[in-house]
Structure 1
Amino acid sequence: MSNTSKGAVLLLTGLAAGVTLGLLFAPARGKENREKLTSSLQSLSETLVDTAVVQLDNLLAFTDRVVTQFKTQTDPYAMAHDDIENAII
């Protein structure tokens, strides 16, 4: 997992913890707090799913480029250094 991914996971975890604690200590009724918490968690899960879909699309596009490059080159192991470096990052 890259540093950017770790940072994003930590940020989202901290955000979820902050929202949860904020709702638990807020001066509202329990039912209202549970509804707010449920709404926040659903929003967070939708964001995570959207992010995962984008990352999967990026991975599939990269894989397609690599396969196409392997098919068109006479030396299939002569991939461009930038492609490999971008895949790692």
Structure 2
Amino acid sequence: MGKDSNIVLGILAGTAIGATLGILFAPDKGVNTRQRIADEAQLQKDRLATTAVDLKDKVAAGANDLRDRVATTVESQKQTLDEKVESIVSDASHKADDVITTLENKLAELKAKNKKLHKTS
């Protein structure tokens, strides 16, 4: 639990204890005192339920925000990876073209030397 939720629970617990002690020491009939205790317990239960719902909503919102940030980061990394792969493929394509051109030039040279050798024989 976070610091905020601990503070809220502490305040609620303190309020409940204080109200219960105040009612117990008040000069009133037992029936009235028990009814006040029951009413205060119900009020604190309702407050606690509301706090729990609020806390759940905050956690859900935080989880959604985290999920969205992770999705954005993953998408960004995917785009970066796609760009890098595209760059590598492009570089490899250019280098392959250079190798093919060099090989074609060497083949032409070899053909020329082969012609010379056939002419002299």
1:17-43 CA-to-partner distances (Å, cap 9, x unmatched) read: 111111111111111111111001101
Percent identical residues: 30
Pick closer, same or farther for the CA change 1:63–1:16 going to 2, 3 Å: same
Structure whose CA Rg is larger: 2
Q: Distance in 1 between matches of 2:37 and 2:53?
A: 24
The one-letter code sitting in structure 2 at the alignment partner of 1:45 is: K
Which stretches of structure 1, 4 residues or longer, exceed 6 Å deviation after superposition? Answer: none
The letter for the 2-side match of 1:47 is R
Alignment length (residue pairs): 76
> 2-side partners of 1:33 and 1:70: how far apart?
54
The residue type paired with residue 34 of structure 1 is R
Cα deviation digits, residues 7-62 of structure 1 (max 9, x gap): 32222222111111111111111111111110011011111110111111111111
- Alignment partner of 1:13 is 2:13: yes
Distance 2:72 2:2 in 1: 30
Measure, in 1, the Cα distance between the counterparts of 2:2 and 2:69.
25
TM-score, normalized by length of structure 1? 0.72
Which structure 2 residue ranges, 5 or more long, are not aligned? 79-121
Alignment of 1:1-89 (within 5 A): 1-73=1-73, 74-75=76-77
* Larger proportion of helix: 2
Could you tell me the TM-score, scaled by structure 2's length? 0.55
